[in-house]
Amino acid sequence: MNYTAFIGIDVSKLTFDAFICGKHVKQQFDNNDKGFSDFMHWLKKHLSAIELKSALICFEHTGIYSLSLSLFFQQQSVLFTIVPALDIKHSIGTTRGKSDQLDAQRIAAYAYAKREKLIPTKLAPKVILRLQPLLSLRDQLVTDRARYKSTCKEREAVYKQDGYFELFTTYQDLIQVLNEKIKAIDQTIEYLLIHDPETKTIYSLITSVKGIGPLTAAYLIVYTHNFTRFDCWRKFACYAGIAPFPHTSGTSIKSKTRVSHLANKHIKSLLFLCANNAVKTDPELKAYYQKRVNEGKSKMSTLNVIKNKLVARVFAVAKRQTPFIIKAA
């Protein structure tokens, strides 16, 4: 698409700074509904109707701080693209100094430089936007529960519970409350998935793959925007950090292929658990795992291959809209 103008936005908690590339005009606005309206009036003041129609607004992904702005742009049918902060950082090279206005200018320059590759962002469906904070909260509660369990266990070994009844009762009560909250969130997540027509079928299909449980299925649906965000399973494997890449250079470096550390570590850890489960419950993958290990292959590299197989199966059933059929070993 041929864009006629490029606007960089640096979003913070209370405000956002905007810069129009080429016109060298900048302005700061409140990060709320009034600020969004003021921003649109400001754009109309500096851009013609033709320029505004094909203008591209670019900003970094800042989580909840940029969510309201993204929703506003989508409702107003404004072209915008959300890019990872790491991409912008690597594109500008060595820099000195930092400010919100300067960052907005750099983002606008990035949008202009990458104009041939940037694609307007389309936000995830409503159900995905509801699932994201629930899954994030669940992760926090699971982390808190693990911390309380670990601390309680350590203190039990020291204090032996003699004279510390209130201490250990409090720990147990906290763990119990967290268990109940996590269970309630799991039920809400499942309810949203099976009662939304966009996710109900996909959720049922991908859980038919041996090794993929309800929680992993929910994360896969969220991270892939219900399997619309990635063209093929290989791109998702790269995103999850399970795709192997060569590591060679001339005659001095000839290492084995390895996975990249630039990855979504959370989904990678979930896929590791799924692979461990699959080699126990899926006859075909169990036989494949045992065959490679008997040949002297590394267990971890074999499990990584199985992670890729699981991702390929998940994307296959989602694409062809038929459940996975288990084959005998």
Tokens of 200: 């109900």
Divide the 329 residues of the chain into consecutive groups of 10 and give the mean pLDDT of each group. 91 96 93 96 92 93 92 94 91 84 94 93 93 96 96 84 81 96 97 94 95 96 94 95 85 80 93 96 94 94 96 96 79
- Hey, what amino acid is at 95? T
Tokens of 251: 């005659």
250-289 residue pLDDT tens: 777 777 888 888 899 999 999 999 999 999 999 999 999 9
Classify domain 5-113 by CATH architecture: 2-Layer Sandwich (3.30)
Query: In 3D, which of 229, 267, 263, 224 has the Cα closest to residue 245?
Result: 263
Q: Residue 249 has what pLDDT? A: 77
Q: Residue 248 has what pLDDT? A: 77
- Hey, what amino acid is at 237? A
d(CA 314, CA 29): 43
Task: Return the residue matching tokens 């750099």.
Answer: 106
Strand 55-60's sheet: what is its strand order? 25-30, 15-20, 5-11, 55-60, 80-83
Query: In 3D, which of 314, 326, 323, 320 has the Cα closest to residue 217?
Result: 314
Q: Residue 254 has what pLDDT? A: 74
Domain layout of the chain by residue ranges: 5-113, 126-195, 222-320
CB 284 within 8 A of CB 210: no
Q: What is the DSSP string of 102-154?
A: HHHHHHHHHHHHTTTT-----PPPHHHHHHHHHHHHHHHHHHHHHHHHHHHHH
Strand partners, 185: none
Helix (H) or strand (E) holding 83: strand 80-83
Strand, helix or coil at 78?
coil
d(CA 61, CA 84): 6
Q: Give residue 322's Cα distance to chain centre.
A: 26
